Structure 1
C-alpha cells in the first residue's frame, strides 16, 4: 500500500509542476501576442494582470519544486518500528503519510493524508509505536498499522 501511495503522490507533484510550467508558458506567450497588437491603458492593465498571475504561478511552482525535492529525499523503503518521517500510519481507518503536506486522496477505498512532520498531528505521532494512542482535537487516534 505504501508503494502505491508514494507513487501516487510523486505523480501528483510532477503533474502539478508540469501543469504550472505550461500555464506560465501560456501566459508568457499571451503577453507576447498582446504586446504586438495593443496599446493604451487597457493594454497596460491586461499586461499588469498577466504579470501578477505569472508571479503567483511562479510562487506555486517554487513551492511544488521544494515539495518534490523533500519528497524525493525521504526513504520510504525503510522499515520503521516507530513513527518517523517516511512512515505510513493507519489510525482510525485513515492513513497518514509523514512526508510533505499534500491534498487528501482516496486510493482503493482508503483515505490518505500526506502531512508534514511539522503538522501538529505528525508531531504527536512521531516516536509512537504500533498500538499507541494519541489525542488530537478531542479525537483519539490509535495506531493500528505502521509501515
Structure 2
C-alpha cells in the first residue's frame, strides 16, 4: 500500500471540490455586485441580498474544505500502527482514510473510503491494529495494513 500515492489521490479530489466552490463563490459574487444603476426594482435588491448571503455561506464551506486539504497534507507524514485520525487502513475490500468525509474514490481495483472520525465505521476502526477484525454491515473485514 503506497500511502503517499493514495493520500495524493484524495488530495486531488479535495482540490477539485475547492475549485468547484471557488467557481460558485465567483458566480454569487458577480450576482451580488450588480451595479445599483442597473437594478430596476426592489426585487432586484432582494436577489442581490440572497446572492450575498449564499456567497458568504459558500465561503465558510470553502474555508472548511481548505482545512481538510491542510489535514491531508499533514497526514502524508503520519506513521502509526493503530487506527487513529489521519491513518490509512487497508482491508481486503477497501482502503479507509480516517479524518474527512468525501465521496468514494476508485484506485487500483479498490475503493478509497474517506470517513469522518465521527462516522460509525471510523468509531469501529479506532484503536484497532493489523490483524484485527471489524464488522461493517454484514461483512467481517480484516485490517491488513495501517499507515
TM-score, normalised by the number of residues in structure 1? 0.81
In the alignment, structure 1 residue 105 sits paired with structure 2 residue 108: no
Whole-angstrom distance in 2 between the partners of 1:56 and 1:41: 23
Q: Contact 1:34–1:43 (CA<8 Å) still a contact in 2?
A: no
Whole-angstrom distance in 1 between the partners of 2:48 and 2:62: 21
Query: Secondary structure in 2 aligned to 1:55?
Result: helix
Q: How does 1:96-135 map to 2 (within 5 A)?
A: 96-135=96-135
1:111-137 CA-partner distances (Å, limit 9, x unpaired): 111122332222221221222112244
TM-score, normalised by the number of residues in structure 2? 0.81
**1:13 to 1:36, Cα distance in 2 relative to 1, 3 A:** farther
Q: Contact 1:102–1:114 (CA<8 Å) still a contact in 2?
A: yes
By how many angstroms is 1:7 displaced? Answer: 0.7
Whole-angstrom distance in 2 between the partners of 1:20 and 1:47: 19
Whole-angstrom distance in 2 between the partners of 1:24 and 1:79: 36
By how many angstroms is 1:73 displaced? Answer: 3.0
What is the CA RMSD across the aligned residues, in angstroms? 2.3
1:4-58 CA-partner distances (Å, limit 9, x unpaired): 2211222222332233233222322233235331221331232133123213312
In the alignment, structure 1 residue 25 sits paired with structure 2 residue 21: no
- Runs of 5+ in structure 1 lacking a partner? none
Query: Secondary structure in 2 aligned to 1:82?
Result: coil
By how many angstroms is 1:85 displaced? Answer: 2.6
By how many angstroms is 1:78 displaced? Answer: 4.0
**1:54 to 1:78, Cα distance in 2 relative to 1, 3 A:** closer
